[in-house]
Structure 1
Amino acid sequence: MWRSKQQLQDDKVSQIEEPTSFLATVWGFLSNFISRNGILFGLLSGSMFFAWTGVFFYLYGWDFLNEALLYHLTRTDPRHNFSIYFYHIYLHHQQGFSSIQRLASFLPQLIVQLALILRFSRDLPFCMFLQTVAFVAFNKVMTAQYFVWFFCLLPLILPWSSMKLKWKGLACAVVWMGSQLHWLMWAYLLEFEGRNVFVQLWVAGLMFLAANTFVMLMVMKHHKYTLLFSTPLKSGNKVATKKEE
């Protein structure tokens, strides 16, 4: 059955509108995350990172690149540490690890990082803090020196937190430090007393991961979410930025 010219014309118009509406939807989604200042900040930050990395790579070669950046992505430590993966690494260090085992230890860390980026990326200092805590907590190796990585970011987020030291702030400190001291007790018995407490030490590592997760959730709950860079706003919407605060 022959179709009328009007129907054919309507089909052509709809075919043109469908890609256009799809692109408009994608652009509308991206515009919630992208702004001119944000792009400028990203370009400047990336340029400085690659420039200084290039300078020191020129001076010191691959030793610098491995020690400064790549080492923490591939490091495996068979000695006891805060990580929940230490016991598995200790038991299988001599045999090596399959690709599936490596992926299983890396995947939780990757999923958490992506979730934090999608949820908090527009509040950049807060997102950086959460990402650093999560990276350390889910890393294959975790020692006390890693805590400095997120301690230095606390001054950037505390002014926008409604958490009071009494009692919730104190509870977070007690849970975090208490679980750490609990782990250190078993580590002392293993290292200095020579007792076979590897399983207890691994369980203490699980408790320390739970403590880190608890503190992160409490910090999220009491944080005042504010944009670092303003984005184009639709009519009727008003979102505060850190600059406006």
Structure 2
Amino acid sequence: LFCGCQTSCRRAEVVERRLSMPSPARRGGSQQHAPAITAAALALRFALVAVASIIDAYKPLGLRYTDVDYDVLKDGARAMVQGGSPFQRATYRYSPLVSYPLLLDVKTGLPLAKLLFCLMDVLLGDAMGQLASHRGASSHVRLLWLFNPISIVLCTRGSWDAVSVYLVLKALLSKRAPVQAGLLLGLATHLRLYPVIYAAPFLYNLCFEARRRITWGRALAFGLAFASGLLGPTLYAYHTYGNVYVEEALLFHLRRADHRHSFSVFWLPIYLSRALQDSRLNLLLKLAPFAAHVVLQAASLVALKDDIDKCALAQTLLFVAANKVCTAQYFLWWLPLLLVVVDDWRLILRPLRNWVLSCGLWLVVAYGLEFRGLPVHMLLWGCSLLFFRANVDLLISAVSSPPPEAKAPPQVRVSSIVEETDSWTDDGDTDEDVDDEDPGEASGFSLKL
């Protein structure tokens, strides 16, 4: 019996190791073409940055290609070069670290920071491929990002959100290394406040690793590293720029209430509250989004605490959908996680189609309100509610898909591996000892796999 258990254990280890390894053809093909794919993705982005400079200079349609937020960052960097503060620029609401790459733009007159943001966007695609491989899914999700028109347009217009999302994905890849994960997540939280929502699932998975033992030491190491990654640059910014940094880059986002250019379901109540005299009702409208965040984040943690990747997707998508301000730029926060988590895209094709249609409907109605002056406030709010429902349906379909490792491997492959291990000998066991095993045990072993 003891020898039989040893043989079964050896077989299980071999099968698990073999199944976790990609096939030689697939592994060789993906690695062989990876440099060429990366070079093509970078070249495409760099070429579009050059075209964007021409469009910005001549404005053929009367519009600039570069995002206005990039101009804000550049103006902040120009103020820093002149010895001032980036917060001298109105509407500068970011960490001073974000403007550091744009110092090169100011000194050279070239959009070098855009090239850096494009590089980070490509690195984000690589991180997505690594995370998908760790989950047992296809690493081809990397291609979906490298040649995704949404990501290409955003980074070439000057969006730096790929930096914070890249740090979040690298933290998820380092979830077994608490110090590294804590530092990455802390820095991401400094740049963009929203990654703080991931601290709870990280702590849970570190405290109750594999639900076998409590590992308080790893959780403590993560907490200290997270505090260091967050407080280090935050204290530096406060020491350099004082209270204006706290007011503009931190507190502003807590009290921000924008009723324009927002997909949020709260835009109409915020818009109507401007005419209210009842301070208690105004306070209730301000607290409602925070209460919604607390409930949704807690529900995501309780329901998906054992799968930190799906939990991060649920937390991010619900945070964006239920936020007081929701713009298209925020979709970049959860879209990479969606591509990584979903293994079978057939399960989310219909919810994704409804999401795109509801988003397009909202844009059409919002155009009538914003540029035509049509009285369609209630209709637009109804579109916001419909869009929120589409986000919820998309999330439910995404997190309900079975993980790749839960799928049964092909029986022919398992059988070939088991037959191969029959020739193993260890501690005096001969081939005849293995062949004389009970056929029922062998078939039961294969069925269990």
- TM-score, normalized by length of structure 2? 0.39
Letter aligned with residue 216 of structure 1? L
Letter aligned with residue 296 of structure 2? V
SS in 2 for 1:196: coil
Instruction: State the match for 2:379 in structure 1.
Output: 200
Shift of 1:152: 4.2
Is the Cα contact below 8 Å between 2:261 and 2:327 reproduced in 1? no
Q: From the superposition, tell whether residues 124 and 42 of structure 1 become closer, same or farther in structure 2 (CA, over 3 Å).
A: farther
Equivalent residues in 2 for 1:29-68, closer than 5 Å = 31=208, 32=211, 34-35=214-215, 36-68=217-249
Instruction: State the match for 2:429 in structure 1.
Output: none
Instruction: State the match for 2:264 in structure 1.
Output: 83
Distance 2:227 2:305 in 1: 16
Equivalent residues in 2 for 1:19-38, closer than 5 Å = 31=208, 32=211, 34-35=214-215, 36-38=217-219
Shift of 1:138: 0.6
Question: When you count helix as a share of all residues, which structure comes out higher?
Answer: 2
Confirm whether residue 70 of structure 1 aligns to residue 251 of structure 2. Answer: yes
SS in 2 for 1:98: helix
Confirm whether residue 131 of structure 1 aligns to residue 315 of structure 2. Answer: yes
Instruction: State the match for 1:187 in structure 2.
Output: 366
Pick the aligned partner of 2:334 from 136, 147, 150: 150
Shift of 1:93: 1.6
Instruction: State the match for 1:211 in structure 2.
Output: 390
Instruction: State the match for 1:18 in structure 2.
Output: none
Shift of 1:171: 2.0
Q: From the superposition, tell whether residues 130 and 223 of structure 1 become closer, same or farther in structure 2 (CA, over 3 Å).
A: farther
Instruction: State the match for 2:349 in structure 1.
Output: 170
Instruction: State the match for 1:120 in structure 2.
Output: 304
Distance 1:152 1:53 in 2: 27
Is the Cα contact below 8 Å between 1:80 and 1:87 reproduced in 2? no
SS in 1 for 2:348: helix
Q: Deviations over 1:66-97 (max 9, x none)?
A: 44333332110132521111111111224365
Shift of 1:223: 4.8
Shift of 1:121: 3.4
Is the Cα contact below 8 Å between 1:186 and 1:201 reproduced in 2? yes
Distance 1:45 1:92 in 2: 38
Q: From the superposition, tell whether residues 172 and 66 of structure 1 become closer, same or farther in structure 2 (CA, over 3 Å).
A: farther
Letter aligned with residue 61 of structure 1? G
Q: Deviations over 1:3-26 (max 9, x none)?
A: xxxxxxxxxxxxxxxxxxxxxxxx
Distance 1:45 1:221 in 2: 30
Letter aligned with residue 309 of structure 2? P
Q: From the superposition, tell whether residues 113 and 101 of structure 1 become closer, same or farther in structure 2 (CA, over 3 Å).
A: same
Q: Deviations over 1:206-230 (max 9, x none)?
A: 000000000111111015299xxxx
Letter aligned with residue 72 of structure 1? H
Question: Higher relative contact order by CA 8 Å / sep ≥ 6: 1 or 2?
Answer: 1
Instruction: State the match for 1:103 in structure 2.
Output: 287
Letter aligned with residue 143 of structure 1? T
Shift of 1:168: 2.7
Shift of 1:141: 1.4
Shift of 1:154: 4.2
- Count of residues in Structure 1 that have an aligned counterpart in Structure 2: 192
Shift of 1:140: 1.3
Deviates more, 1:170-179 or 1:123-132: 123-132
Is the Cα contact below 8 Å between 2:268 and 2:381 reproduced in 1? yes
Distance 2:222 2:403 in 1: 22
Deviates more, 1:109-118 or 1:179-188: 109-118
Distance 1:40 1:223 in 2: 32
Distance 1:154 1:59 in 2: 38
Distance 1:53 1:116 in 2: 28
Deviates more, 1:202-211 or 1:88-97: 88-97
Is the Cα contact below 8 Å between 2:358 and 2:387 reproduced in 1? yes
Distance 1:40 1:119 in 2: 25
Letter aligned with residue 381 of structure 2? W
Is the Cα contact below 8 Å between 2:320 and 2:330 reproduced in 1? yes
Is the Cα contact below 8 Å between 1:86 and 1:140 reproduced in 2? yes
RMSD (Å), alpha carbons? 2.5
**Structure 1: which 4+ aligned runs deviate by more than 6 Å?**
none
Is the Cα contact below 8 Å between 1:123 and 1:225 reproduced in 2? no
Instruction: State the match for 2:155 in structure 1.
Output: none
Equivalent residues in 2 for 1:7-26, closer than 5 Å = none
Letter aligned with residue 384 of structure 2? G
